[in-house]
Amino acid sequence: MCSQKFLDYVYKYPVRIKSIFLPTMREDVISKFRETLGEKFAAQGHQLYTWYKCAGGHVYAINNCGEPQEKGKCFCGGEIGGIKHTLSQGNRRLDSYKIF
């Protein structure tokens, strides 16, 4: 399908393309985390999540005060978290991704 035909199809049948993955589009991992964790932990009284990335670029969240208290392993093998509010080397905070 040429690009013009595809765009016509998208315009005419937007509902049909809802489940199509387009390789040029990045997956919105943060929204998935928000949706899953927000519902699950809000019921348990947790209010704040602070978002971080490991050295490999994978996103993870810390709840309660939002500061690292222990170290863990990312699925990529990298270290995540930290000790006494100090992040492990290579991790970084994503300040714009706090959820309530």
Alpha-carbon gap, residue 51 to 60, rounded angstroms: 6
Tell me if residue 74 is catalytic: no
Helices (H), 3-94: 3-12, 29-42
Choice among 2, 54, 65, 76 that is catalytic = 65
Q: How far apart are the first and last CA of the chain?
A: 43
Amino acid found at 4: Q
Degrees to nearest 5, angle at CA 28 with 6 and 42: 140
> Catalytic residue positions?
65
